[in-house]
A and B are shown apart, each in its own frame.
Chain A
Amino acid sequence: MTKLEFWQGNTACAEGALAAGCRFFGCYPITPSTEVAEHMAVKLPKKNGIFIQMEDEIASMAAIIGASWTGMRAMTATSGPGFSLMMENIGFAAMTETPCVIVNIQRGGPSTGQPTMAAQGDMMQCRFGSHGDYSVIALCPASVQEMYELTARAFDLADQYRVPVFLMADEIIGHMRERITIPDKVAQTPRRELEKGVLPFQPDAQLIPGFATFGKGYGVHVTGLTHDEQGYPCTTNPKVHAALVQRLVDKIENARTAIADYDVVNPDAEQVFVAYGAPVRTVRQVLHDNPRANIGLLQLRTVWPFPEHALTIFKHAKVFLVPELNLGQIAREIDRHVKVPVVSLPKLGGDLHTPSDLVAALEAHK
């Protein structure tokens, strides 16, 4: 039996994590993500899980990586300034292929910016914020229901691809309350354990190694240094480094179709909105208010790896309109993949685009 609730987005995020088997949460308080931590602080001890408030976000990220190596599903939640502090150990998680989930309830930046206002200014930081080349997975919920579902899916993706997975929400989705249907059970695909006789960083056909859980007798060495398939440091052999970094990128980019999650409305439209997170809601209002106009929508629930093939569904598109709560971070990405004009519709300050903002954009780009 499913059940209906009326929840805040951040509560739905925490509950989605718990339903997916998350039993370790390390965090540092930061607006507007604190409700995720507060909910986990209440619920985790009752489920024999570990909630720990660390001394900063660097330590939070470190703690969830440590917990993950013991086989636990582990998560942290933060916002702008904390997200910046996490970058160092996010790179470590990418390099050591540690499954973990990072929730970012985005607020206005740069710096301390607007703690209580929504933004989507960390989309590029999420993709490229730590040094060196690597790839990640980022999911963007646009409703309380999606906060629950995408958080739960984030754990499966993290375990399957052995990569940090980001839930890139925003203050509006995190703090809004709406009806949510809770499933009986969330399907869980556990991470693939390392087989006997296989090296701990030796990839399978999907370029992903089996996981050598601590405490099981593998004697695995995990290092952020460039390492060989044994896991041993190997920092001056150019071929070993190139092959490792290429694999870290390819294991995600090659799977972009499998990872992709999006919604298509009116695929024959000539004017197509591409949106993720809170702006999706304004676009849907415009579609609702103008049922006879042939306006398209591509809602991206996966932003990284970027599902570029989804853009080709709109065969008659003459223009892509991209409303974002930033200065066009994903509009630039879309522009790389299409031949028709891409119009960035930036909105800063914390307010959503109004439906009339978007209607005016439709008029201006007829």
Chain B
Amino acid sequence: MKTFSIGGVHPAENKLSAGSPIRVAGLPKQAVFSMYQHIGAPAKPVVKRGDMVKVGTLLGEAGGFVSAPIYSSVSGKVSKVDVALDASGTRRMAVYVDVDGDEWEDTIDRSPELVKLADRPELDATTIVEKIKTAGIVGLGGATFPCHVKLTPPPGQKADCVIINAVECEPYLTADHRLMLEHPEETLVGVQLIMKAVNVQKGFIGIENNKPDAISLMKEKAAQYPGIEIVPLKVKYPQGGEKQLIDAVVGRQVPAPPAIPINVGAVVQNVGTAFAIYEAVMKNKPLIDRIITVTGKSLQQPSNLLARLGTPFQQLVDECGGLPEDTGKIIGGGPMMGKALISLEVPMTKGSSGLLIMNDKEAKRSEPQPCIRCAKCVSACPMGLEPYLLAAQSARQMWDEAEKNDIVSCIECGSCAFTCPSHRPLLDNVRLGKSTVMGIIRARNAKK
């Protein structure tokens, strides 16, 4: 069975919510829409206090090409446009909407019927990309990179295949798994749309073989969609990393930055993104909700919720039985790459793939011990880096040396820190080094 070639680790899977069907979460009393829900320029608020909005009303327009608009997921009145605490842990510009009823914009088609690509022959690549751009779709795997940018290859570059990331290699998370089980056809139409947008004939959907039900169902359904192939993959973290997935599925290596997947002819999108693209193009529905896994060993009812963006995490936790008493850490995202939250006031954003409640025993980090030079981090690193060295260089502020050792190639997957028997905070230091070195490189390029 296929998998990526370098490094990788095997964290305990803990897919507690794999068997629980997607539930629709209730409407919040107040929804908060951060203007920073994607990578790139923040959205610019276009509403003001007192404005009435419906589900699907534009709240913030894209702040540039690498940016995405933000739509209201609720109907009601804008109570203020002010800073709000978001998942990044800082206060940033957001729009607050007091919810009143559930009125949708008329343009959105809310019927559940499947619309196939053959039903809409007028759609061409430009229209699809334009619709995706207008709908504010970003990579829903967690990186939140604006989708239309990836579907607009730079001049001279041509993709020859689309790879759909349905591996869900993060432990605990099951949102993509449930999506494939409950909306397989919509997802496949979404994949077709992506293929049409970048004008390729071949699409692969990579699924890890810890989801046999999803693999067999998707294989069965994909038979009717020519060009789409389901690729079962061996379970290994971080297979969901863009470069790792390309390596696993088509066996191509993406060179070190600034090279991007399109340089090896691949366009990678998350399976959740494919579903959102289907809804945006076929149903005219902007990105206003997503599936989020709310899970944890002590949580009463680990669930997959279809929740509106802007819903405070507190409400989602309440719907799953409330915050357990032994909570040690709350993580936005999965346990490997997610970010600890400082408060449950934080609203859900486009990138919220999971909400993990760790109990105090799991959450406790062990005291770091001296490095014993076992090189486990080196063999675990999926990018072939030397994490112990990069961490030491970052801690000593040796930025030039860290740059020479390719610190910017780090994908921050955390395999090094996970595997370290001395519990050294390797990723903490490498991440600091990476952001500093990237700042230095940007400054240097700006000078030129």
Binding between chains A and B: no
Q: Which residues of A contact B (CB under 8 A)?
A: none
